[in-house]
Structure 1
């Protein structure tokens, strides 16, 4: 087999939901037609005054339903604004942790704001040769179970094209295996580019630095360490595997029931995921997080500056058993979060702007999002989470069949109505046909979503850094979509490795 001569361009995706005609679905057309019925009835009865008075109402209804504004219809914007205003008035969105109020009863119980409020964690039974106890994450609101792993990957920056292609194929095999097993509903890959706090270097210097060294050498070393720490960054990568309760309940009963039964079923999934991550994907290590490690990952998601203290405590605990290094889950969240702003999210001494990333029609090469991962200033944190939703074969067949029928119906209606079938329409139809062919060949259908966030201290200009994030996304060839009125949910999706994604479309599980 001959290796590809140039980078592989990935672009065989299509819209999640195809419109029947003029980009509108069946529900929108039914609403518009029902809204126009009084006008037709009044015109049929020659009640011209009533018809004339109803015409502007119908026009407003058409605008509310059919005109998209930044990814949402005008009607949806109005409803979201109403819900947010009601939440602010009723003080539903103003949150304070139990730890800050001094009312913690169980230190092992998670206390998180917003869409994370339904999270509960459990210690699973011993797993693996080291008999570790990974944390089992239960989301009571969405009725799902999840496990989180910290991974180490050499990256693709210095990889040749064949190596990148091999890693991409390995990820495809991982997702196809998840779709075939029909247990995993979401596989979330999160990468954080965080400021280097120098905690490991400081601990190493404390142990190995020679006090009898020349004073000039010590001064130069200290100055270099300060400069390098200020400008340095480090990468953290997490993989979260989410399994719905409906898919795991039968096997969990056979495995003993309860949390332990669900954990045993999850352990089988973890073994398969780990084997593929360590194999074709190219990871060098996969560590499933226990409760203290998961609590630290959540805490550093809310407060990046706390990592230095947590790391220093872990290093000190290795030599001094009296040092408490295990971080309690009850203190993993922020101390308080005010009412979410329209364009950003404030948590303790930090502020975050979150955008979703829309995939370009022209496709993209692997590594095109590199500028989005790169901070523009020392002290800035970038976080990107990619959600992969493997769709079971039966459901994928129904989705592709419905999209194919909608595409054919739209083309036929345009032809009969005298509208020109443009190149974009032919491209979308070809993509749907390509999906049908690949699905028939045994490939899996995967729904993809990307959320990117920038976190800065609250003394900086959040507007400026939000603009920089959007500029980096645009410069990478993608399109940013700021999550206005949903910045708290966007932050949870982009920065917290618990598998909490963006709001489900129309309640679909």
Structure 2
């Protein structure tokens, strides 16, 4: 029996330049110390002694991270949140709750999802279905969403897992080669089974003249299976920025239909790889009603039974929550539910495929877990520049240590070997992909969200990863982790 492959050749997005600090931080800290050195040069000892504590406090504010952010960034974000709450920017109510709906197909969503618009594309595939094309006016992107079914890897052998991992790598390399896709999101939501499909089937096929004992046995078995069952639903979201698709869309006819035709070609390529090397058993691109149901169950997991049996065609105007109060610092409330979202930091020792499985296991009936993995392929030119910079920085740092008489520790040698291995794989034709993981737990509003937030963090820790709660950005984190519309994690640097 072969041993499972451990994946761990990742590195930080932007490495530190000197002493664990970036260029901007180093320049700012050095600039703040200029008055100290100027006073020392002029032999003004009192001024130098008075300014030194100020300099030290400034260095701590801009250079010492606390839960992923420096104290200065924490203060800035807290001020933004207080100003937004004072001006009423963080409160939201749906148009349907206010009785002001003009178009039922117009999406009405809060927060970072407010720029989402959905369009019915032209007929696609042999069944002439019309997948929904999602446009984000804020980020200037276009995306499509598919519901996928996969047999899973829980009982798969190591060789099968390795083959599926190679299939996912081939999929990401194809998207990087095409230089059209900016983000590829895989979302898995796990919730205890509500028995909606089973109840609907029984209502349509149950015989009224059956013996009473048979009815009692069926009802008891249904209760036992519903209590013990867990339901999974998985979505794939493909995001394409406007700047990459505009030229091709003009050649395809322009407008929304032209962009949809370009996306349809991409969808066919991705569907072939999902059904082939990745091992999916089915791929269904969602239309407007299917997308609305996926969004609604993201906000309210308990509505799935009603959508399955009573309202199969839900309009997008009713997909969101009726109201969303100002988000709390450490959790997010939406209608009768509340959620906690954490980012998952990748461990330096690497991880085997399926290591995140404990994060998807609910700890109580009624709890919903959701994990979204974002893959962002990097173009060949940019990847070459990034890897070249990493290689030069690693060699220069180790050479400075050796010339300065400092010992090159095992961690430094391991990082140098990791950079060299990444350079070799890139030269062999492999793609460079940026990865981010967001995990969320959703429970009814009457439950203790702090307790279930700790359970989520404990599950992440037990899986071998490190959780980092998205304080002051729980609404954005929830949209990234639970809503399959292509909205990614909040960014600090650069643009999409």
Q: TM-score range by the shorter chain?
A: over 0.9
1:40-55 aligned at under 5 Å gives the runs: 40-55=37-52
User: Could you say what secondary structure the match of 2:33 adopts?
Assistant: helix
CA distance in 2: counterparts of 1:490 and 1:331, whole angstroms: 22
Matches within 5 A, 1:272-311: 272-311=269-308
1:425 counterpart = 2:422? no
State the alpha-carbon separation in 2 of the partners of residues 103 and 53 from structure 1. Answer: 62
CA contact (8 A) 1:20 1:407 kept: no
**Separation in 1, partners of 2:140, 2:400:** 42
Instruction: Tell me which residue corresponds to 1:318.
Output: none
Q: How does 1:360-399 map to 2 (within 5 A)?
A: 360-399=347-386
For residue 411 of structure 1, what is the aligned residue in structure 2? 398
SS in 2 for 1:157: coil
Give per-residue Cα distances to partners, 1:278-309, cap 9 Å, x unaligned: 00111111000111110110000000011101
1:326 has 2:323 as partner: no
Counterpart in the other structure of 1:249: 246
- Determine if the alignment matches structure 1 residue 499 to structure 2 residue 496: no
Instruction: For 2:189 and 2:308, locate their aligned partners in 1 and report how far apart those are by CA, in whole Å.
Output: 17
1:102 deviation in Å? Answer: 0.8
Question: Partner of 1:209 in structure 2?
Answer: 206
Counterpart secondary structure, 1:239:
strand
Q: Give the aligned partner of residue 441 of structure 1.
A: 428
1:184 corresponds to which of 181, 186, 191 = 181
Question: Equivalent of 1:114, from 111, 115, 125?
Answer: 111
Bigger drift between 199-208 and 452-461 goes to 199-208
1:271 aligns with 268
Which stretches in structure 2 are left out of the alignment for 5+ residues?
none
Cross-structure match for 2:197: 200
Paired residues of 1:345 and 1:491 also in contact (CA < 8 A) = yes
| 1:49-103 deviation digits (Å, cap 9, x = unpaired) | 2212211111011101211111112221111111111111111111111111111
Deviation at 1:122, TM superposition (A): 0.8
Offset, 1:206: 1.2
Query: Does the CA contact (< 8 Å) of 1:230 and 1:379 recur in 2?
Result: no
Which residue of structure 2 lines up, in the alignment, with residue 224 of structure 1?
Answer: 221
**Normalized against structure 2, the TM-score is what?**
0.98
Is the contact between residue 477 and residue 490 of structure 2 (CA under 8 Å) also seen in structure 1? no
Question: Where does residue 24 of structure 2 map in the other structure?
Answer: 27
Within 2, Cα distance between the matches of 1:284 and 1:265?
25
Task: Please identify, of 389-398 and 68-77, the stretch whose mean Cα deviation from structure 2 is larger.
Answer: 68-77
TM superposition shift of 1:373: 0.8
Deviations 1:393-414, CA, capped at 9 Å, x for gaps? 0111011112222222332333
TM-score, normalised on structure 1?
Answer: 0.95
Paired position in structure 1 for 2:145: 148
2:239 and 2:126 map into 1 onto residues whose CA distance is 23
Verify the 8 A CA contact 1:382 1:455 in the aligned structure 2.
yes
- Counterpart in the other structure of 2:154: 157
For residue 5 of structure 1, report the CA deviation from its aligned partner. Answer: 1.2
| Contact preservation (8 Å) 1:20, 1:409 | no
Write the distance in 2 (CA, Å) between the matches of 1:435 and 1:26: 24
What 5-or-longer segments of structure 1 have no aligned partner?
Answer: 315-324
CA contact (8 A) 1:194 1:234 kept: yes
CA contact (8 A) 1:356 1:483 kept: yes
Q: What is the rounded CA distance, in whole Å, between the counterparts of 2:479 and 2:400 in structure 1?
A: 42
RMSD: 1.3
What SS does the aligned partner of 1:99 have?
coil
Shift of 1:418: 4.3
1:143-190 deviations in Å (ceiling 9; x for gaps) = 110000000111111112221111110000000000000000100000
Whether contact under 8 Å (1:453, 1:491) holds in the other structure is yes
8 Å CA contact retained: 1:19, 1:406: no
Q: 1:459 aligns with which of 431, 446, 459?
A: 446
